[in-house]
Structures are given as structure tokens and as C-alpha cells.
A and B are shown apart, each in its own frame.
Chain A
Amino acid sequence: MKFAAKAALVVAILGLAACSNPDKYGSGAVGPGGTLGPGGAGMNGGMGGVNDPNSPAYFSQTIGDMVHFQVDQSTLTDTARGILTQQASWLVSHPSYTAIIEGHADEQGTREYNLALGARRANAAQEFLISQGVAANRLRTVSYGKERPLAVCSSEECYAKNRRAVTVISQSAVGS
């Protein structure tokens, strides 16, 4: 859960944006970095509390919407599997939600390779969720490569945070 605090800000806003924007895949959906800002914390209230197991906030913060990867790897760690298992369980019991899994890479790679690497990571998370019973047609993946880092320093401390797959849930239809 150590990433939950950081994840909260990001996903809180994204989740909200998704609810208020039915055209989630339109040009407005630029990804988590695009809407990350200091004002985010105050918007949590609109999503239900982190202690309400039925709330998106519970999914994104209490469970954790984000898993992390080793350098240039897309293999799920034990920690990642633990988080994804809980994500899957939540998604199975909340069938009105769909999810886009975003894959990201750190800046230590070329742009196009990192897009492909991010896609591998998103896919690894997606496959695991499917293996845990989430219907494939509720999930989609996208890669942002190194375009939307969460942490902006140029050291391993930040890189470790940026090598991630984020499960962004919404109540709009996937793939429409």
C-alpha cells in the first residue's frame, strides 16, 4: 500500500473526470498526469470515502490502483499480484465499472520503445485481472510510454514510481 497516498491524488481526479465526461476516450482523456494537481485532495469527497468499500476511492486508495515494475521489465512482482488480486475482486463485485489499464515507463528509454514497454506492463496487469475472473470486455489497455511521469526527478527514486500500470475505473462503457 505504500503507493496509495500518491495514487490517491491522481486517481481521485481521474475517476471524477471519467464520471463527468461520458466521452472518456475523447480528446479530454489525456491521462492521469494531465489532471494531477495540488487541488486534487479536496475533490475526494465527490467519490465516496476511502472506507466505503463500494466507492471508487476505496478501489484507488484503499486497495491501490497502481502496481510497479522493475527496470525494463513487465513481470508482475508478488506485491503487484497482491494488489491486482484485490482489484480483481473489487471489479468482480462491482460489475457496473469498467477499467482502462495505463502502462507507463520511466524516462530511461527511447520514446517508441517505452510506448511498447508500457503496453507490455498494462497487458500484464490486464491478463492477471482476467485470470482472476474479470471479464475481458470490461478492460482495455493504453500505454503512455514515458510521456506522463508521476514523479519528475531523474533518479531511481522517481523512476521506480514511474514504472507503473494504473487501473483507472469508470462507469462508462469500454471500447465504445
Chain B
Amino acid sequence: MKRFVLAMMMALLAGPMAAFAQSQEPLHITITDGVIEPLPFAMAGFLPESPDAAQMAQQISKVISDDLTGTGLFREIPKSAYVQKIDTFDTPVNYSDWQAINAQALVVGSVGMSGGKLVVKFRLFDVFSGQQMGDGQQLAASPASWRRLAHKVSDVIYSRITGEGPYFDSRVVFVSESGPKNDRQKRLAVMDYDGANVSYLTDASTIVLAPRFSRDGNKVLYTTFETGFPRIKMLDVATASARLLPDVPGTMTFAPRFSPDGSKIVYSLEQNGNTDLWLMDVASGETQRLTTSPSIETSPSFSPDGKQIVFESDRSGTQQLYIMSASGGDATRISFGDGRYSTPVWSPRGDMIAFTKQNAGRFHIGVMRTDGSEERLLTSSFLDEGPTWSPNGRVIMFTRESPGAQGEAALYSVDISGRNLKKVPTPGPASDPAWSPLLP
């Protein structure tokens, strides 16, 4: 089963042929007009082990179900179709009953309270090969963290079936927007990847832009107008305390991003109308200039190994993407298609770069290999911009803004296959998402 689903995942990238080549395998995946048939699974409940765990069990089941079906790769079979009734965690699985309803995967779980802790146990079964997939697992946490517990269960199920890294137990920092278009109020906010547990990190007293997480998820860099001029601020997520980074008077600084080890920050510094890339050592505040071109260099992003930086520059006359050493020097242009390319972000897996593309009056989110090959546009709208990667490099979140006087920004996510485009729920208009790493 795992082998087949892997083929399915590859097919998402490679097109229909790979999947059809596997069609003699037990799992039946139909690809029609490029649409993947989601894998049907059954979740025989997360059974409460005591009455006080009943409500929690229901909520946890719902979050897991939403995580899995939200990927577009899975479809949950309604409980009304179930043949076998599983009423305890240790009830032996009668595979033929689950084969009969064409469940490819079966999840059996339980939720209990023990010593003030919430305890979740679960097992995952491959129905058609008639065996358990991996060991059963038990996770415990404080009841307040029940959503994280649910996301962790989803992550295990997702990873075992797809062979991909987990990503549900993660957060997103973004800009929460309100007010009219010519007087937008902006606040930094952070939420779970699925829009739950929103909390605000700044008030609306000044413009804030483009927050980005450190790789450990503990810090956020963003741009603020609180001094009247764009400046970079570094915020501690746990305490929401923040400090302005040192700057040079008479300059603007913006577009910050951490190095993978968190010791350095690459950013744009504007002086006398010219914007170049600089590097700052977080501990000492020492800076180093990386580019010296009279053109605009901005939106830098480190490779996961910290050795290279991808950025945008209009040195050729229009915005294009370039890669250079993290210590500066010559840069290699990697974008060559029609239109303008901007906001490159290196995938956490290192293999791809996501970007914004403007062409013929439309905006797109796209991905390409780090050498610029295999460019694919995933979205198209009046205004899409600012991609950010899920921790496993399979999903991209971005800002989509609607046109006109009443236009509003919202967060959307899309698979790197271009499938499963959907709006991310936020309390109001939102922009500039940045995905955290997987939580510890």
C-alpha cells in the first residue's frame, strides 16, 4: 500500500502516467482530467475511555478528519457505511468488513484522561493487505493542547501513508488586516496552520509587514513603521516582546529573513533610493553588504543548508530571480520565462523555489527547480503574492487579494501539484503568511 501511495504522490508531480502504470496494484486510484481520486479511509472513532473524555474524543476525531481530508488526498467514509462495529481500542479488526466498504486505510484510536493528562492512543491499518501500518502510538499532553495532540496523530497517519514529512502540527504568523483600502490597519497574528487558536502579537498602531519565523519557531522578524520609517523588528513569540534591530540613520530596512541556524539575518537596506542586500549577525549586530548593484535587490531567502541565498533583482531591467553565495559575490539568474518574478522562497527540502510571477496583468504563485528548470504556475488571480512553504515542502500558503475599492486580502493554500487550492480560515482579512517549522 505504501508503495502505491508513494506512486500516487509522485503522480501528483509527474502527471497521470505514473499512476496508471501502477494500476494492477490493490489500491485503486483513478485520475481523470488530472484530478486525483482521494484515498478512502475509515476512522472507527477515537473512542472515549471514560465519560469525561467523550467530548474531547469527538473533537480530536474531528480535527484529525479535517487534517486528512483537508489535504485533498484522503476521503473519509461516512460512519453510517461501516460494517464492523469497533467499540474498544483492542477490538480485532475484521479486514473483510472494511474491504467491503472500500476503506483503504483504517484508523482506530482512543482518548482517555490520566493524572490530569490527555492520553491519545491509535493504530493505523492497511485494509487490503490486512496488516497494521507501523506500531501503535500513545501520545500524552495537557488537555489545553488537545489540538496539537490531534495534529500529531494526523501527522503520523499522513506520513505513514504518503511517505512525506509531517506538517499539521505547525503554526502560521501573518498580518491581520482591517479598515478601508486607503487606511489599512495591520496587526501581527499567529495561528495554527488550520486557522485555529489565533492570537495577536502587535496592536494596530502602525503598519507591520511580512513576518517570518526563525527555524526553531521561537522568533519572528517583521517590518514595522513604528519609527515612521520601515525598520526590522525581532519578536520573541512566547513573550511577544520585540526589539528593533540596529540601523543606519537615513536608511530603510525591510524584507528580513533568518539564516537556518538563526545566527544571521539577511535583509534589504535602502539608502539614497538604492536597495541592496545585507547580512546582520544577530548577536553582535555587525553587518556585511552582500550586493552593490544600483538596482533593487530584495526578498532574500536562504537555502536550507545556509550556503546560498535566492533573491529578486531588477538588474536586468525587470524583476528576476537570482542565486548567490550566502557571503555575497556573483549571482546566477534562474528565471527566464515571460513576465516578472519576485518573492522567491527556498523550499525546506531544498529542491525547489516558490515565487510570485506577474505576467500579462495576472499574478501567479509558482515553483521551479533551484536551477530554474521545471517552472510550474500553481495559481492565477488578480493578485497572488508571497508564497511560504509548509514544513514538509508539499503545500504553499500565500496572499490573495481581490480587486477594487472593496478588495480584501485573504490567505490561501495550494499543493505544489497545483491541486487543492483553498482559502485558509482567518478571523478577517489577512496577508503575508509565514509557515513555522514543525513544532517540537
Determine the distance from Cα of A20 to Cα of B10 in the docked complex, in whole angstroms. Answer: 64
Q: Which residue of A lies closest to B300 (CB)?
A: A112
Chain B minimum-CB-distance residue to A26: B228
State the CA gap A82–B402 with chains docked (Å): 36
Chain B residue contacts of A152, Cβ below 8 A = 180-182, 404-405, 407
B359 CB to closest chain A CB (Å) equals 12
B225 interfacial contact with A, CB 8 Å: yes
A24 beta carbon closer than 8 Å to chain B: yes
Does A148 lie within 8 Å of B182, measured CB to CB?
Answer: yes
Question: Chain A contacts of B405 at CB under 8 A?
Answer: 152-154
Give Cα distance in the complex from A154 to B180, angstroms.
14
Interface range, B side: 35 or more
The contact of A110 among B183, B223, B385, by CB within 8 Å, is B385
Q: Is B403's CB within 8 Å of the partner chain A?
A: yes
**Does A12 sit within 8 A of B, measured CB to CB?**
no
Interface pair B206/A119, CB less than 8 Å apart: no
A142 and B182 in contact, given A74-B273, A108-B358, A119-B275 (Cβ under 8 angstroms): no
Interchain CB contact (< 8 A) of A140 among B225, B250, B268: B250
Q: Contact: B250 with A175, CB < 8 Å?
A: yes
Distance between Cα atoms of A173 and B403 in the complex (Å): 39
In the complex, the answer to whether A149 meets B386 with C-beta atoms within 8 Å is: no
How many interface residues does A have (CB within 8 Å)?
43
Q: How far is the CB of A110 from chain B (nearest CB, A)?
A: 4
**Min CB gap A152→B, angstroms:** 4
Report the Cα distance A148→B180, complex, angstroms. 10
B230 neighbours in A (Cβ, 8 Å): 115, 142-143
Mark each residue of chain A from 90 to 134: 1 if its CB lies under 8 Å from any CB of chain B, else 0. 000000000010000001111111011101101110110000000
Of A119, A126, A127, A151, which is within 8 A of B252 by CB? A119
- A123 in contact with B226 (CB, 8 Å): no
Residues of B within 8 A of A107 (CB): 383, 401
Give the shortest distance, in Å, between A35 (CB) and chain B (any CB).
8
Please name 16 further chain A to chain B contacts, defined as beta carbons within 8 Å, in addition to the given A120-B275, A175-B249, sorted by A numbering.
A25-B227, A27-B205, A27-B206, A36-B182, A110-B299, A110-B385, A112-B342, A113-B298, A115-B209, A116-B268, A116-B296, A116-B298, A119-B252, A143-B270, A152-B181, A152-B182
25 residue pairs A–B, Cβ–Cβ below 8 Å: A27-B228, A30-B206, A31-B225, A33-B182, A33-B183, A36-B182, A74-B273, A110-B319, A110-B356, A110-B386, A112-B255, A113-B319, A115-B223, A116-B296, A116-B298, A119-B252, A120-B274, A127-B273, A142-B228, A142-B230, A147-B207, A148-B182, A152-B404, A152-B405, A154-B405
Chain B interface residues (CB < 8 Å from chain A): 180-184, 205-207, 209-210, 223, 225-230, 249-250, 252, 254-255, 268, 270, 272-275, 296, 298-299, 312, 314, 319, 342-343, 356, 358, 382-383, 385-386, 401, 403-405, 407, 432
